[in-house]
Chain A
Amino acid sequence: MTPLPLVAVVGSPNAGKSALFNALTGARQKVGNYPGVTVERKSGRLVLADGRPVELVDLPGTYSLEPSSPDEAVTRDVLAGKQRGERDLDALLIVLDASNLDNHLRFALQVIELGLPTIVALNMIDLAKRDGLELDSARLSRDLGVPVIETIAVRRRGVEQLSAALDDMLSAPRCGVHQHAPSDLIHLQRRAREIATAAVISETPVRRLTHRLDSVLLHPLIGPLILAAIMFVMFQGVFAWSAAPVSWIEAGMGQLSAAASAVLPPGLPRSLVVDGVIAGVGAVITFLPQILILFFFILLLEGTGYMVRAAFLMDRLMRGVGLSGRAFIPLLSSFACAVPGIMATRTIDDPKDRLTTILVAPLMTCSARLPVYTLVIAAFIPDRDIGPGVGLQGLVMFGLYLAGIGGALLAALVLRRGVLKGGGSAFMMELPKYQWPPLKDIAIGLLTRAQIFLKRAGTIILGTTLILWVLASVPQAAPGQRQSDVSIAGKIAGAIEVVVKPIGFNRDISLALLPAMAAREVAVSAIATVYSIDSTDDSKAQRTLAQKMRGRWSLATALAFLAWFVFAPQCISTIAVTRRETNGWKWPIFMVTYLFALAYLAAGITYWLAVAAGLG
């Protein structure tokens, strides 16, 4: 079977490349990885009018063929036919931002010089018109020597014309690659500006919407207030809006385990399904709504163009701890999950800046900590108001977030003064035009996240839960003995307990810490599994997990446990992605060591202070 014709979609960041890619391929997308590098390969299938399928690959956005990040290097290498894991291209689709022609044309000229069959999509033509810019695409096509199609990707305008042009291009016989020596950049730049000027029919200076919005959103006083308000709404939304769906999932899980109990005979099989699978995985799936709400906000902020403004507002403060505003985006994403956050650091050019951001990203309170925090707070912090609209539980949660942020900033400061001293200090970013992202694109993003999370719940979490269940169930306790004392897991926990006893951790926590290395939220399912196995008689089993915990933990222990999770790097995925992104074990080992040290210290100090205050 001959492989499908391959068409690469290239363009500058913010040219609407991904939106056009989505419009062309719909949901038929596949995300993979290029071998040896950590850059994602996003491909999709486009069916031409005559039914012929074509594979489209969405290359990382770049401003030129001289890469300044690993992402951009992939784009260059694919275009040059030198990227491992990518076959030769049959055609190119260059996406240009219609209102930024003078800047983006230079890259287009560079790419056209490569000699591949090329089509130019003059994208966001509506935004250009909104800015009072009238363009002559026929003239542009003549000057560039390739077809130019006007498109509005977010409204799927021009998609059919593009696909027709691709059809023509792929049907035409290939007349050999006529590559000539690349022109020098300054020459190209000036030619780009000439062509851009010639393509402009009329240009009326209109007070741009983006400029008006920016004068508010980037206002020295109002801007930071709005940013703070957006972040407040975001985290408020994560908790408030998730309450209903979480209770539905919990109800569903309850019915499921009741049904399973009715069908399965009592004993080990029932215990495996009800205590192991349903209790363990169910405890984790209830956090899907919160994670999706958080990602919804992040995708929305990125899609509208606000995220870069947030970076602009925060740059000076981030510089105070040796980072740049660019680090703000990865760190904010890390509130959802450190894995995409760490992957987002690829946009940071400076290696030391980037490494520092990677090393502190796990300190941002990721959504996997929410299950742990929520459970412990619900069990130990009284649900009472300490002011109008301010609950004590919410305040503690807020404090945990602040502790994470404070820890990250402090760690960055120390790292930049110590092991990661020096390096550049650039902050250069394009501030894209504001636009309303198509809800479909956000939906595709959320769907991908949900799939990844459920896959994790289905594999890593289910696997560790099952192993823990086996370790916690074997050997079976004799009457009068506690199962968690007798089992293999109990013995392992006994060894861990020696280390963590000074910081107030009991045996149950020791037991939960080991499987929680897989992912933090496993701590919840681990505790749930252990207590569920332990509760032999039925009246005890009816008690909620929180009630059971209250019976076994002191307040000081609970607080120390919370402090531990602010810092502890208990997430295999984060460690793995750090290894991938830093190309070796040195930095992940460094990260795990310093974070565990901080966790131990923080939990210890919390415990000792709490005991001194009489909460032990």
Chain B
Amino acid sequence: MNAPFAMHEIHLDQIKLGTSARIVAIDWDSLDAPDASRLRDFGFDEGVAIEALHLGPFGRDPMAVRVGRMTVAIRRKHAAAIRVLPDRK
């Protein structure tokens, strides 16, 4: 019974809305090169604080994520390549 406060690493597409987290690892190799470079442009990097803000109305896709002080829309597919550690509430 450790669910509510557990410190589990999860993939970004599994995160609950409104949860802030820190990026643990990004599986760069699973991404197409242009997608990876665009993610980097937007500041996705190990150690960066992020927060899941909004989900698209159809199929909960794409998702809007705060990275640093910037809000970025990405598809779930790409979010799945990002592993995060949710902050302890």
Contact = CB atoms under 8 A, between A and B. Distances in A.
A86 interface: no
A429 B72 contact: yes
Given A427-B62, A428-B38, A224 B67 contact: no
A108 B83 CA distance: 28
Interface in B34-55: 34-35, 37-43, 45, 53-55
Contact of A220 (B32, B53, B55, B74): B55
B75 A426 contact: yes
B69 A426 contact: no
B71 A427 contact: no
A261 interface: no
Interface in A119-140: 131, 133
Interface in A302-325: 308, 311-313, 315-317, 319, 325
B64 interface: yes
B70 A224 contact: no
28 contacts: A63-B42, A68-B38, A101-B69, A102-B69, A103-B42, A106-B43, A133-B69, A189-B40, A211-B53, A218-B54, A220-B57, A308-B73, A312-B54, A312-B73, A313-B57, A316-B56, A316-B57, A316-B61, A316-B62, A325-B73, A349-B34, A349-B38, A426-B35, A426-B38, A426-B78, A427-B74, A430-B73, A431-B73
B58 interface: yes
Q: Is the interface of A mostly helix, strand, loop or mixed?
A: helix
A57 B22 CA distance: 39
Contacts of B41: 63-64, 103
Contacts of A102: 43, 68-69
B4 interface: no
Contacts of B69: 99-103, 131, 133
Given A214-B54, A350-B34, A424-B32, 18 more contacts: A100-B69, A131-B69, A189-B45, A220-B56, A220-B57, A312-B62, A315-B62, A316-B56, A316-B59, A424-B35, A426-B75, A426-B78, A427-B62, A427-B75, A428-B73, A429-B72, A430-B72, A431-B71
3 A-B pairs closest in CB distance: A63-B41, A316-B58, A103-B43
A215 interface: yes
Contact of B77 (A101, A218, A425): A425
A426 B34 contact: yes
A428 B42 CA distance: 9
Given A64-B41, A349-B34, A424-B34, A430 B71 contact: yes
A210 B37 contact: no
Contacts of B74: 427-428
A101 B67 CA distance: 12
Given A100-B69, A103-B43, A131-B69, A428 B59 contact: no
A210 B70 CA distance: 11
Contacts of A499: none
A49 interface: no
A66 B39 CA distance: 13
A609 B34 CA distance: 49
A133 B61 CA distance: 31
Interface in B1-46: 32, 34-35, 37-43, 45
Contacts of A133: 69
B57 A428 contact: no
A221 interface: yes
Contacts of A311: 73
Nearest to A433: B71
B56 A315 contact: yes
A185 interface: yes
A223 interface: yes
Contacts of A429: 72-73
B72 A317 contact: no
B61 A64 contact: no
Contacts of A430: 42, 70-73
Nearest to A308: B73
A138 B57 CA distance: 44
B57 to A, nearest CB: 4
